[in-house]
Chain A
Amino acid sequence: MLDIPLPVLLGQVTIGLVNGCFYAMLSLGLAVIFGLLNVINFSHGAVYMLGAFAAYLGSRWLGINYWIALFIVPVVVGAFGMLVERLLLRRLTGLDHLYSLLLTFGLALVLEGIFLDIYGSAGQSYNGPPQLDGLVDLGFMRLPLYRVWVVAVSLAVCVGIWLLIERTSLGAYLRAGTENARLVQALGINVPLMITLTYGLGVGLAALAGVLAAPIYQVQPLMGSNLLIIAFAVVVIGGLGSTLGAILTGLGLGIIEGLSKVFYPEISSTTVFIIMALVLLVRPAGLFGREA
C-alpha cells in the first residue's frame, strides 16, 4: 500500500475533487428542495442533463458560446423548473412523499426519453471555451485548466449559496420554512412564492452543473441518472435538508472515491454506498442532520 507514489495519490485526489464538485452542486439543490418542499426530486439528474444539452444545442443552433450559456442556461432551465412547480408539483402539496417522487421520476423518464429518441445514447461532444484550453502544472500532475475552473466555480457557488442561506434574511425565511412552512406563512411571508423560487434555484443549480460538465463528460441523455443516485447518497450521508452537509459530503465523497481508485479500484464505484451504510448505522440522521 505504501509503495504508491505521492503524485499518483494526489492526482486521484484532484480528479476526485472535480467529481466531488458536481456531487456537491447537485446535492445542495436536492437538499434545499427537500428541506422546504419535502419533495424527493427525482428529476434532478434530468435537469442536469437538460443543462448540458441546452449548452450543446445553444452552441450548435444559435451559436451561443460557453460564457453566455453559463449564465443563460441556469436561468432558462430554472424557469422551466418553476413552471413545473407551479403547474404540477404544487397540486401534490400535502399528499404523501410518494406522489411527488413518482411525478418527478416520471418527468425524468419523459425528458430522458425525448432526448434518447432524438440523439440516441451516444455522447455528443461539446467544446469548452478556448480561453480555458491548456494545462496547469500543479507540480505533482498537469491538470487541464478547465477542471481547475470547474472546481473554482462550483466552490464559489456552493459557498455563495451557503452564505445566502445561513447569513441573510432571505436565508432565514428558508431555514424557518424548512422547520415549519405553515407558521412562516402565518407570520406574513409569501411561502408559495418562496417555494417556487427555491425549486427554481435548485433546478438552476443542477443546470449550471450540467453546463460545467458538458465539456468534460459526454453530453448524453442518461448522463444525469448515474450522478443522481450518488447525489441522493450524498444528501442522506450529509443529513436530509442540511446544506452544509450536502456541500462538504459531496466534496469529501468525491475525494474518497478518487482515493479508493488508487487502493482498490474494483470498489471505487461502490465506496459511496458503503459509506452511506456505515454512516446510517452510526448516525441515522446523517453527519450534519439534526437528530430527531
Chain B
Amino acid sequence: MTTSLALSTPISAATEMGPTAAAAAQRRQILALQDVHAWYGESHILHGMTLSVAEGEVVSLLGRNGGGRTTTLRAIMGLVDRRKGSIRIAGAEVIALPPHRIARLGVGYCPEERGIFASLTCEENLRLPPSQAGGGMSVDEIYALLPNLAERRKTQGTRLSGGEQQMLAIARVLRTGSRLLLLDEISEGLAPVIVDRLLELITRLKSLNYTILLVEQNTHFVEDLADRHFVVERGQVVLHVTAAELASSAELLERYIGV
C-alpha cells in the first residue's frame, strides 16, 4: 500500500492562494528531509540536510554551485550512491526505496541536464513515464498548454530547442499526475523570453496547488515565485528566508550567493 500525492489533491480542488509561512507550517508536510547525508562513491556531499516543504508551497534552494543543491534533489530521488537520514514523502519514509518506487509516490523530477532522450521522439519522451495514480494532465491538455510541443511531436527529442526541451521535461512529469515537482536549474542557459514563459508556467502550476522544490541560480526567477528559500552550502542549509523576509535579507543573501 503506497500513499499517493496524485490522489490527495485533484486539480479541481485547487485554489488560488498566496500562502504565508505561518499558513504553510500548518499545512501537510509533503516533503521532509531530516539530517540527510549523501555520498557519490567516497565523496561525502550532503552533511545533514534538513528541510521541509508543505503542500502547495514553492520552495527554492539557493546557493553557489557545488554546495549540494542538485545532490539534494538527487538524494530525494534515490539517485546517489549512498544516503542516510530520513526522507519522508507525504509521510512515507523513502530512504530505502529504489528510484522508481519514489517516482510512483507522485514525485516528478526534472534533472539539470533536462534528460530528454535522443532516441525518442518528442511525443515518446512525453509518454515515457508511466502514469501514477491518475489525475495527471492528458497529452492533449499538455499540447494545449504548450502548443510548440504539439507542432514538434514527431521530432527527435534532442532536436528541440533548449526551451522546448525544458518545457518537455516538465510536461513529461505533469502527465504522470505527480504533484510534487523537483526542478533543477530549469532557467539555466535559456533566453530571457523563454525564462519568462517558464516563470508563467511555474506560476500557473503553483496556482494549481502543485508542491514545487526548485534549485535555482537565478534569484530573480524565484524572488516573486517562491514562498520560502533555503540557502545551501557545504551540504547543509545555512540560511532560511521566507518570501516576506526576502527584501530585508537581501544583503545577507548576497553574501552567501553573490559571485
A180 to B113 alpha-carbon distance, docked (Å): 12
Which of B52-106 touch A at CB < 8 Å? 77-79, 98-100, 102-104
Pick the residue among B102, B118, B124 that contacts A179 (CB under 8 A).
Answer: B118
Task: Write out the residue numbers on chain B whose beta carbons fall within 8 Å of the beta carbon of A180.
Answer: 115, 117
Closest A residue to B105 by beta carbon equals A188
Report the separation of the CA atoms of residues A191 and B172 in the bound assembly, to the nearest whole angstrom: 18
Given contacts A178-B119, A179-B117, A180-B115, contact A187 B79 (CB under 8 A): no
Q: Contact check: which of A179, A183, A188, A290 meets B176 at CB < 8 Å?
A: A188
* B213 nearest CB across to chain A (Å): 15
Select from chain A the residue with minimum beta-carbon distance to B158.
A179
B173 interface contact, C-beta 8 A: yes
B128/A176 in contact, CB under 8 A? yes
Contact B100 A188 (CB under 8 A): yes
Q: Which secondary structure characterizes the binding site on chain A?
A: helix
User: Which residue of B119, B125, B130, B173 is within 8 Å of A189 (Cβ)?
Assistant: B130
Q: How far is the CA of A180 from the CA of B109 in the complex (A)?
A: 14
Task: Judge if A147 is at the interface, Cβ distance under 8 Å.
Answer: no
Taken together as a complex, chains A and B put the C-alpha atoms of A271 and B98 apart, in Å, by 47
**Is A175 a contact of B173 with CB atoms below 8 Å?**
no
- Chain B, interface residues (CB within 8 Å), range: 20 to 34
Q: Which of A173, A176, A192 contacts B98 (CB 8 A)?
A: A192
**Pairwise interchain contact B117-A185, C-beta atoms closer than 8 A:** no
Nearest B residue to A189, CB-CB = B100
User: Is A187 a contact partner of B117 (Cβ separation < 8 A)?
Assistant: no
- Using CB atoms, name the residue of chain A closest to B172: A187
Q: Do B127 and A169 touch across chains, with their CB atoms under 8 A apart?
A: yes
State whether B124 touches A188 (Cβ < 8 A).
Answer: no
How distant is the Cα of A169 from the Cα of B150 in the complex, in angstroms?
A: 19
Q: How far is the CA of A68 from the CA of B109 in the complex (A)?
A: 47
Once the chains bind, are A183 and B115 in contact (CB under 8 Å)? yes
Q: A172-B128, A180-B117, A187-B128 are in contact. List 17 more A-B contacts (CB 8 A).
A: A169-B124, A172-B124, A175-B120, A176-B117, A179-B119, A182-B99, A184-B128, A185-B98, A185-B103, A186-B79, A186-B102, A188-B104, A188-B130, A188-B132, A188-B176, A189-B128, A191-B99
Q: How far is the CA of A190 from the CA of B132 in the complex (A)?
A: 13
* Minimal Cβ-Cβ distance residue in B for A169: B127
Contact between B173 and A187, CB atoms less than 8 A apart: yes
Are the CB atoms of A186 and B109 closer together than 8 Å? Answer: yes
Q: In the complex the two chains form, what is the Cα distance from A42 to B124 in whole Å?
A: 33
Q: Are B129 and A189 in contact, CB atoms less than 8 angstroms apart?
A: yes
Interchain CA distance A189-B115 in the complex, whole Å:
15
Any chain A CB within 8 A of the CB of B111?
yes
- Nearest to B173 among chain A residues (CB) is A187
Ordered by A's residue number, 18 sampled pairs between the chains whose C-beta atoms are within 8 Å are A169-B124, A169-B128, A172-B128, A175-B120, A176-B128, A180-B115, A185-B98, A185-B100, A186-B78, A186-B79, A186-B102, A187-B103, A187-B109, A187-B129, A187-B176, A189-B129, A190-B100, A290-B118
Which of A172, A173, A182, A186 has the most C-beta atoms of chain B within 10 angstroms of its own C-beta?
A186
- In B133-190, the 8 Å CB interface with A consists of 172-173, 176
Q: What CA separation (Å) do A104 and B77 show in the bound complex? A: 32
Query: By CB atoms of chain B within 10 A, which of A178, A183, A187, A189 has the most?
Result: A187
Shortest C-beta distance, B166 to chain A (Å), equals 15
Nearest first, the 6 A-B pairs at minimum CB distance are A188-B103, A187-B129, A175-B119, A185-B99, A186-B99, A176-B117
In the complex the two chains form, what is the Cα distance from A172 to B127 in whole Å?
9
* Residue pair B99, A176 in contact (C-beta under 8 Å): no
**Complex Cα–Cα for A110 and B102 (A):** 40
Q: Which chain A residue has the least Cβ–Cβ distance from B130?
A: A188
- Which residues does chain B contribute within 8 Å of A182, judged by CB atoms? 79, 99
B-chain residues with CB within 8 Å of residue A178 when the two chains form the complex: 119
B127: chain A residues within 8 A (beta carbon):
169, 172
Least Cβ–Cβ distance between B98 and chain A, in angstroms: 7
In the bound complex, CA of A180 to CA of B115 (Å): 8
